[in-house]
A and B are shown apart, each in its own frame.
Chain A
Amino acid sequence: MDALHIAINGVAHDLKGVDARTTLLDLLRDRLHLTGSKKGCDHGQCGACTVLVNGRRINACLSLALTHEGDAIITIEGLAQGDTLHPLQAAFIEHDGFQCGYCTPGQICSAIGMLDEVRRGQPSHVSGDGEHVELDDAEIREGMSGNLCRCGAYVNIVAAIRDVARQAPES
């Protein structure tokens, strides 16, 4: 079994000859040349490889490509509409939410997934058992704890995410 049908950023791919050892991250970067998703630790600890699979954020480095038969993947390359940036991309620029930029694609994909989790009412270690999750800075930091930034741009990353969350309040 080495065939894989997978949609990446809305484009269907019909792949053959996928080595079972290939992770989703390596498939994206090495085979499809979508190098926006980054390989940091390659152990699921840094979050630089974060992508959205069927709308949920995961670590692409710990996920074998062949397990994604039929899945729809969104990477950093799939977020902008032409020249119009995704609100989180624009907010990261506005708030200077990076220095070297290596962790940024993972930060942004993770933030999209995290904001969706909050919209769906998912609780967190910080929010506890309350019905309503308030997206304050502590909640953002907890939700983003799977994404490391070695430059230490956390203050501005939190500001960018907070800004977008307030632009698009819970519906």
Chain B
Amino acid sequence: MNPFAYERASDAVRAIAAVAADPDAMFLGGGTNLVDHMRLGVAKPGRLIDVTRLPFDQVEGTPDGGVRIGANVRNSDLAAHPLIRARYPVLSQALLSGASGQLRNMATTAGNLLQRTRCVYFQNVDTPCNKRRPGSGCSAIGGYTRYHAILGASEHCIAVHPSDMAVAMVALDATVEVLGPSGERRMPLVDFHRLPGDAPERDTVLQHGELITAVMLPALPLAAHSLYRKVRDRRSFAFALVSVAAALQIRDGTIQDVRIACGGVAHKPWRATRAEETLRGNPATPEQFGRAADAELAAAQPQPGNAFKVKMLRNTLVAALQELAGVAG
């Protein structure tokens, strides 16, 4: 690990100013990804500003029925919170499907959003990778692609975002609150993570020195009827091959409203807007669920090593919707 200076932040504004003024500085959250990257040589910050003691550690219900999640709330605490379990079960389930008990006790909400891809070529500093070293090439294309993207990838990068939590939050219309050197801004979480395009080194739209302070979940009554379904190579402590976060509201057999996001398939949590459009106002039948999945997957461009994911995501999406609708296939 390269030498670095460590500082424990007690004031958000000063911490932001310190990072903004130093191109080699980074914020430190739970450390589960960043400390590993520093050991691997993937990240080489000269200065770490530990923000875990800043007072962004509450989960609070808002007057309009939403929930505000502090950036430092640990994944295990968020998953167990009564408001999350009651109003947004998909989020609790997504968190609990990720990592291990130890890691969930360490990982923060903001850190979970900012974790980086587990693409083996990104994490191995000996192989070319456009995300780690822009312009060096993509070793995944033509390589081992079992865990790579089938939607929204580019010729420069086919990595996927690894978070389960973020997939549920994107389905829930979450908003990210960010504090930076020039003040506060908010953006929909669906716009927070980027597609790779020709700049895969940038995972998000966050500027250097900007700090996530909270994630806002809006009031979303249909989210009380939601679930997270994850397919992986082993039953626990594994990243998704594909995953689906879904919420569904049906009246008299007709889909009133729906939210769907998919994980393990793109450089960002993939909001399935085409599938949602195909479902709203239509009958809640397995056939319609299949049409919705097909509409979303029409744009899929799998690699030779992950073509199975197209059918796997279709099946997972249909199964998730069937479970929510209570209809047999």
Q: Which residues of A contact B (CB under 8 A)?
A: 1, 19-21, 23, 42-44, 47, 50, 56-59, 62-64, 66-67, 69, 110, 113-114, 117, 120-125, 128-129, 141-147
Would you call B96 an interface residue if the criterion is a C-beta within 8 Å of the partner chain's C-beta atoms?
yes
B105–A58 touching, CB < 8 Å = yes
Q: Which residue of A lies closest to B80 (CB)?
A: A122
Contacts of A128 in B (CB 8 A): 93
Check B308 for interface membership: any CB of A closer than 8 A. Answer: no
Counting contact residues on chain B (CB < 8 A from A), the size range is 35 or more
Whether the pair B35, A117 counts as a contact (CB closer than 8 A) is no
A19–B5 CA distance with the chains assembled, in angstroms: 9
Chain A residues within 8 Å of B4, by CB: 20-21
Q: Does B113 contact A (CB under 8 A)?
A: no
Q: CB of B264 within 8 A of chain A?
A: no
Question: Known contacts A57-B102, A63-B35, A67-B28; can you find 17 more A-B pairs with CB under 8 A?
Answer: A1-B6, A20-B5, A21-B4, A44-B32, A44-B100, A57-B101, A59-B32, A59-B106, A62-B35, A64-B28, A114-B101, A120-B80, A128-B93, A129-B85, A129-B92, A145-B235, A146-B100
B323 at the interface (CB under 8 A from A): no
- For B88-130 the 0/1 string (1 means CB < 8 A from A) is 0100110011011111011000000000000000000000000
Contact of A123 with B85 at beta-carbon distance under 8 Å, contacts A1-B8, A67-B52 already known: yes
Instruction: List, in ascending order, chain B residues with CB within 8 A of A122's CB.
Output: 76, 79-80
Complex alpha-carbon distance, A146 and B75, angstroms:
15
Say how far A26's CB is from chain B's closest CB, in angstroms: 10
Beta-carbon contact of B31 and A63 below 8 Å: yes
Contact pattern, B 292-319, Cβ under 8 Å of A = 1, otherwise 0: 0000000000000000000000000000
